[in-house]
Amino acid sequence: MPKITDIVTELAEPLVREAGCVLWDVEYVREGGSWFLRICIDREGGVSIDDCEAVSRPLSDRLDEVDPIPGSYTLEVSSAGLDRVLKKPEHFEAFLGQEVEVRLYRPRNGRKEHVGILARYDNGDVTVEIDGTPVPFEKKEIAQVRLYPRFG
């Protein structure tokens, strides 16, 4: 049986494209006793509230029609954000050479967070250049990798 996120991805992708955006991620998570279906979208130049609405309304109608999720949930459509989480190989490939934060399950050298330039991605393993030195991280030790925007 397909996962809910896979079904929703299939339903959402054409609607997101119609709105002139790209589907970044789909999450179906339980928080505080409630279920949330989160759709993250992206667009060259940034995502506006109008973009989110242009995806949310038709997707909500489509989800009501197909009804792939048992029970109640809250639908959220938002921008992937400047500090977006990188999950898929294509995410990593698109942001090679950019600054990222690697969060680990267990500390390495006394820290769980490591910031550097994304130098390599290989099947879940990530190499980040920190102060000019390549630092490899194995998939099994990585909790999350996200873009690390600097302001000012």
Q: What is the pTM of this model?
A: 0.83
Q: Where are the beta strands (DSSP E) in 94-141?
A: 99-108, 111-122, 125-130, 133-137
Separate counts of helices (H) and strands (E) for the chain: 3, 8
Confidence of residue 90 (pLDDT cuts 50, 70, 90): very high
Residue 129 has pLDDT above 70, yes or no: yes
Q: Which CATH number fits domain 4-79: 3.40.50.300, 2.30.110.10, 1.10.10.10, 3.30.300.70?
A: 3.30.300.70
CATH 3.30.300.70 domain span(s) along the chain: 4-79
Q: For 20-78, what is each residue's pLDDT tens digit?
A: 999 999 999 999 999 999 999 999 999 999 999 999 999 999 999 999 998 999 999 99
Q: Which CATH number fits domain 89-147: 2.30.30.180, 2.40.50.140, 1.20.120.80, 3.30.750.24?
A: 2.30.30.180
Q: Quote the mean pLDDT of the chain.
A: 95
Confidence of residue 1 (pLDDT cuts 50, 70, 90): low
User: Are 58 and 65 in contact, with CB atoms under 8 Å apart?
Assistant: no
User: Are 28 and 69 in contact, with CB atoms under 8 Å apart?
Assistant: yes
How far apart CA 89 and CA 25 sit, in angstroms, is: 12
Residue 2 has pLDDT above 90, yes or no: no
